[in-house]
Amino acid sequence: MLLTSLPLTPDHDIPAPVLTELTALYAANHEFFSLSGDFPDPDDIRPEQVASALAEELAHPDAEVLLARSEGLLVGVAITLAHHPDPADPDPWIGLLMIDAGVHRQGYGQRLARLVEDRFREEGRTAVRLAVLDGNHRALAFWSALGYEVVDHRTDRQLARPCSVLRKALD
C-alpha cells in the first residue's frame, strides 16, 4: 500500500481525477455517512461536497489528508491532525480513516492505520487518539482490535455528536 499526501493544484484545489476517486470512496461508505450526518443526503454525495469537506479539514494548519493506494487504485483515505485544538491534549489525532466499502475486510484498514501510526512514531509522538461516533459498533470493534482503548466519552467539536475517545500508546 502506498500512502501519499493529497495533491493540490497551484490554486489549492483537488485535481479533478482525484476528486472523482474520493467522491466514489465517500459514496461507497453510505452506512457511515448515514450515521455521521456529514452530508445532507448520504445516497447522493457530490464532488463539490467532498471538496468542501476536505477544504474545511485542510483549513486547520496541522491537518493532513493522506491517500492510500493499492495497485494504483484509491482504497482509503486518512485525515490526521498533528495537534488537537485543545492545548491540554498532547496527542495527534486520526480524524478520519475510511476504506472503500468495496474492499472492506481485506486488511486495508489495518494497514492504513499502521502506516498512520508509523508516521506519528517517526515524528517522535508517543500516542495517538481518535473518536468513534456512538452507534458505530463496527468502528469501535476495529479500533479496539488494533489496541486502542476508550479513555473518554464526549461530544465531537464539529457537530456535538456523542462519541468515545480512544487512545493508543505508540511503543
Q: From residue 150, how far is each of 11, 101, 115, 137 by CA, in Å? A: 40, 25, 21, 13
State the Cα–Cα distance between residues 13 and 9, nearest whole angstrom: 5
Tens digits of per-residue pLDDT, 39-63? Answer: 889 999 999 999 999 999 998 889 9
pTM: 0.93
State the Cα–Cα distance between residues 155 and 64, nearest whole angstrom: 22
CATH classification of the domain holding 65: 3.40.630.30
State the Cα–Cα distance between residues 90 and 114, nearest whole angstrom: 20
Q: Which residue has the cell 473518536?
A: 131
The vertex-4 CA angle with 50 and 25, nearest 5°, equals: 35
Residue 157's pLDDT band, with cuts at 50, 70 and 90, is confident
Q: From residue 104, how far is each of 37, 62, 76, 88, 163 by CA, in Å? A: 21, 29, 10, 35, 23
Residue 34's pLDDT band, with cuts at 50, 70 and 90, is confident
Phi, psi of 151 (to 5 degrees): -120, -10
**Residue 52 pLDDT:** 95
C-alpha cell of residue 128 = 495517538
DSSP state of 45: -
Number of domains in the chain: 1
More confident residue, 37 or 121: 121
Residue 86's pLDDT band, with cuts at 50, 70 and 90, is confident
- Bridge partners of 93? 81, 129
State the Cα–Cα distance between residues 153 and 133, nearest whole angstrom: 10
85 pLDDT higher than 80:
no
Range of the domain at 74: 2-169
**Residue 156 pLDDT:** 84
